[in-house]
Structure 1
Amino acid sequence: MSRPLKITGICLAAGFSRRMGAPKLRQLLPDGTPLGASAVRAMAGAGLQRLLVVVREDDDCSWLPGASGEAAGKTAVEVVLCRDASLGMAHSLRCGLAAAADGAGGEPPDAVLVVLADQPLVDAGLLARLADVLHGHPELDWAACGLQGVPMPPAIMRGSMFSALARLEGDRGARQLFAGAGFRGEMLADVAESSLYDVDTPEDLEMIAQTWLNG
């Protein structure tokens, strides 16, 4: 039996909330918790070796679970400051990857699991499914959620992709690598669309609230 993969989670939380008009990760969900805390909690319960949350330098992280003494889950949260956050999502991912590459005890992980902090309906079960795909298929470089045939975050990427991820630029994330011929992957095609909702506008937040209450 092969050993479990050592997976580091990278939660991308360094956006500027321009379309929201206010810091979106602090907006409250129907249960009264900050929007950004939900994805972090899901990651903390997904059996990860480490959990890195990439934020801007001016973020006080008051939205993070644990900021008020509440435990996030089984995996401790490590905050990574991204000085290049204004250059786009790829640079936030690169900051997280650089921190992950240091590894626990100096040893890099086998894979990184990337989640957007503004995806509050992601749950630990979905994240564990992505990890299981790579564990069961060592020939694959990545696994992602799929929506109408398009790979979406959350996504997990094996160490074979780290060099390519570290060269990404601008506001596009890892998805641009999935379409290339250089890496092999698989999409989970049976994921509910609502699980992948992200929040960019007040209207998105209202839709999330309604889905939350109806779920």
Structure 2
Amino acid sequence: MIRTGLLLAAGASRRFGPQDKLLAPLRGQPLVAHAAQAMRSTDLDHRIAVIANPDLTPWLEGFRIILIAQGQQSDSLRAGLQAAGIPDRLLIVLGDMPDITAAHLSRIIATTTDDLPACSHDGRSPLPPACFPRQSLGALETLTADQGAARLLRQLPPAQYITAPTLLRDIDHPEDL
């Protein structure tokens, strides 16, 4: 079984201000380094990072880097899907979620079946990180504009949710750090 991890780190950070939030320091490292380390500590066959800022590259050792122009969320996802090919499992992680752990990512992968994705849940709604089986990858390719996979994840049965509210903080504003 081929397991590929896809780190999406090409957002515009508009709500954060002029600085690239993924380079903002948190616990002694840039924000993006935390999600990247969790992925490096997860049993994956391949790791891909989609970025718009080449200054992120030093923090992404062990990842195949896909550099794109800043655009919509679906642009980043599509670029990652193209680079990933057709793995058996595709784990999607956002670069601005510093509290995720390898154990959480591993549980998501283990919960994914050949027929159903699995994802994180904060007690209110499904969220990334999420893992998609091969047969679900086509649905991801249909997403457009600034649309993530949330619509697809809301359709999952509760057994496919890994509840972990303390791990799912994402950074949108400087005060979130």
Q: What TM-score comes out, normalization by structure 1 length?
A: 0.76
1:42/1:59 Cα in 2 relative to 1: closer, same or farther (>3 Å)?
same
SS where residue 104 of structure 2 aligns?
helix
Aligned to 2:10: 14
Q: Which amino acid is 1:97 matched to?
A: L
Aligned to 1:211: none
| 1:1-34 per-position Cα deviation (integer Å, ceiling 9, x unaligned) | xxxx31110101001111111111111112x111
Aligned to 2:81: 97
Q: Give identity over the alignment, percent.
A: 34
Q: Which amino acid is 2:36 matched to?
A: V
Aligned to 2:153: 178
Query: Are positions 1:168 and 2:143 aligned together?
Result: yes
- Following superposition, the deviation at residue 59 of structure 1 comes to 2.9
Q: Give the count of matched residue pairs.
A: 175
Aligned to 1:112: 90
1:201/1:27 Cα in 2 relative to 1: closer, same or farther (>3 Å)?
same
Task: State which of 5, 21, 26 in structure 1 corresponds to 2:23.
Answer: 26
SS where residue 131 of structure 2 aligns?
strand
Query: Are positions 1:157 and 2:154 aligned together?
Result: no
Q: What TM-score comes out, normalization by structure 2 length?
A: 0.91
Counterpart contact for 2:73–2:148, Cα < 8 Å: yes
Query: Are positions 1:61 and 2:56 aligned together?
Result: yes
Cα separation, 2, equivalents of 1:62 and 1:99: 17
Cα separation, 2, equivalents of 1:115 and 1:65: 13
Cα separation, 2, equivalents of 1:77 and 1:149: 32
Q: Which amino acid is 2:29 matched to?
A: T
Cα separation, 1, equivalents of 2:2 and 2:121: 24
